[in-house]
Amino acid sequence: MSAIERSLDGKRILLIIGGGIAAYKSLDLIRRLRERGASVRPVLTAAGKQFVTALSVASLAGASVHEDLFSLTEEADMGHIELSRAADLIVVAPATADLLARAANGLANDLASTLLLATDKKVLMAPAMNLRMWLHPATCRNVMQLQSDGVLFAGPADGEMACGEFGPGRMVEPIDIIEAIESAIGSDTAILLPGAPLAGRKIVITSGPTHEPIDPVRYIANRSSGRQGHAIAKAAMRAGAKVVLISGPVSISDPAGVETIHVETAQEMLEAVRAHLPADIYVGAAAVADWRVENAGEQKIKKSPSGGPLLQFSENPDILAHVAKAGKSRPALVVGFAAETQNVIAYAQDKLGRKKCDLIVANDVSAEMGVMGGTQNSVHLVSALGVESWDRLDKEEVARRLVTVFADLLEKGGR
């Protein structure tokens, strides 16, 4: 197993699994934690047992599942105290509205709430609930109270829910919880790739979509989550690089330890990129909107009996081409991304020539591929030397491999 995957080696995670359909994600979370070297002691609530079985949890964790506060065998040694203090971090995923409420008010009427009250360790919660429950004033008060008590949060994210509604309240993906865990424990500050292959190098990365206003409440955007760009930033930092991440609007957290600049529009992204050149490497992973609305409304555009508004478009600046043709300030290695729905390699080869960059990372973002917003990616590396295709991998593994490629290309002289 690679060093980057052992980012939680020896860490002890106490995982409380609450009730809700998102509980199925806890199984993947356990797998990912153990891949990274962490040990997991699972606690399954009564509600959680309605969605996942103790057997499946125990099998993945490689440890017995704790369910009952009044287990005589464990309570003879004050088991709930030992459980709450032996961990490096307590993670609640999913954290239901009920669990949030009980933790915020100091209740201790089952094993999960007792552990949260008895612990002297950090607590990280990944909320999951219906959007109306998340936005309810009572939940808002409970979250504010927990935050003031020092509880950390991962999410929630916006998205479609099991109930059919769309909005905030969806539990973030296991990989996002992993990142929050690493940040909470403090492992993100370590250089984890052997030999720090990018030590002393500066890398500028763009990530996520841009939002181009139609009016104050509407905009044009691409369907980008920013996961791949953020993963590259994190991997590059772990390889020793000084990383500047320029991110469009995303719902995922900033990578801990990475200088992150938030922008909205393509023009703002270009200005931020210019401000942080020169650099050794530029990676244009952002899904920049190709067009902007010239006649954007200063006020919300209202419906009209005469039909929809007539929008006038103009092209946005080509950030990748600008960097690749930047003369003396051009990075030694300029990497672009090509998100296509057809003729992926052919379009990427054309883009490589037109944009004058050194490498294109191309992928198929057709709806059936699940790349946009998903946690996995299948990419083709297109350069003057030819095409190298990778099988479907977690985006963090794609990022780790790309960083190795970047270091190798720099060693060979970039272009």
The Cα diameter of the chain in Å comes to 77
pLDDT, one tens digit for every residue, the chain (415 residues): 444 457 788 899 999 999 989 999 999 999 999 988 899 999 999 999 999 999 999 999 999 898 877 654 455 454 556 777 788 899 999 999 999 999 999 998 889 998 998 888 889 999 999 888 999 999 999 998 998 888 899 888 876 666 666 677 889 899 889 888 887 887 444 444 556 789 889 999 999 999 999 988 888 888 888 999 999 998 898 888 999 999 999 988 888 778 899 999 999 999 999 999 999 999 999 999 989 998 888 888 888 887 778 888 999 999 999 999 888 889 999 999 988 788 888 988 988 889 899 999 998 877 666 666 667 888 999 998 899 989 888 888 899 899 999 999 998 775 5
SS3 string of 43-62?
EECCCHHHCCCHHHHHHHHC
**Residues near 225 by Cβ (< 8 Å), separated by ≥ 6?**
208, 250, 251, 252, 372, 373, 374
- Which tokens sit at 46? 């009564």
| Nearby residues of 205 by Cβ (< 8 Å), 6 or more positions away | 229, 232, 233, 236, 243, 244, 245, 246, 282, 283, 285
Query: Apex CA 378: angle with CA 375 and CA 162, to 5°?
Result: 30
Structural domain boundaries in the chain: 3-188, 191-411
Alpha-carbon distance 315 to 313, whole Å? 7
Q: Which of 46, 135, 140, 163 is catalytic?
A: 163
Q: Is residue 120 packed enough to be buried (19+ CB in 10 Å), middle (13-18) or exposed (0-12)? A: exposed
Can you give the pLDDT at residue 1? 40
Cα angle 253, 8, 193 (rounded to 5 degrees) comes to: 85
Structure tokens at 20: 């809700």
Partners of 187 in the beta sheet?
Answer: none
Tell me the C-alpha distance between 250 and 221, whole Å.
11
Q: Which residues contact 357 (CB under 8 A, 6 or more apart)?
A: 284, 320, 323, 324, 334, 335, 336, 351
- pTM higher than 0.85 for the full model? no
**CB of 30 within 8 A of CB of 15?**
yes
> Given this model, what pLDDT does residue 78 score?
45
Tokens of 75: 């309570």
Determine if the peptide bond prior to 197 is cis (ω within 30°). Answer: no
CATH class as words, domain 191-411: alpha beta
| Separation CA 91–CA 226 (nearest Å) | 24
3-state secondary structure 211-243: CEEEECCEEECCCCCCHHHHHHHHHHHHCCCEE
Question: Under a CB-based contact definition with an 8 Å cutoff, are residues 172 and 126 in contact?
Answer: yes
Same fold: 3-188 with 191-411: yes
Of the candidates 381, 264, 277, 384, the one whose C-alpha atom is nearest the C-alpha of residue 322 is 277
Contact by Cβ (8 Å): 245, 257: no
Angle of the 24-35 helix axis to the 54-61 helix axis, nearest 10? 10
Cβ atoms 343, 363 nearer than 8 A? no
Q: Distance (Å, rounded) from C-alpha 44 to C-alpha 118? A: 17
CATH assignment of 3-188, among 3.40.50.2000, 3.40.50.2020, 3.40.109.10, 3.40.50.1950: 3.40.50.1950
Coil, strand or helix: which one is 191?
coil
Burial 122-133 (b: 16+ CB within 10 A, else e): bbbbbbbbbbeb
CA distances from residue 150 to 9, 91, 115 in whole angstroms, order as listed: 25, 13, 16
Question: Following DSSP, what letter does each residue of 108-122 receive, concatenated?
Answer: -SSHHHHHHHH--S-
| Residues 170 and 161 sit within 8 Å (Cβ to Cβ) | yes
Residue 357 known to be catalytic: no
Residue in this structure with the two tokens 């994210």, named with its chain if needed: 157
Q: What is the pLDDT of residue 188?
A: 44
CA–CA gap between residue 395 and residue 208 (Å, rounded):
14
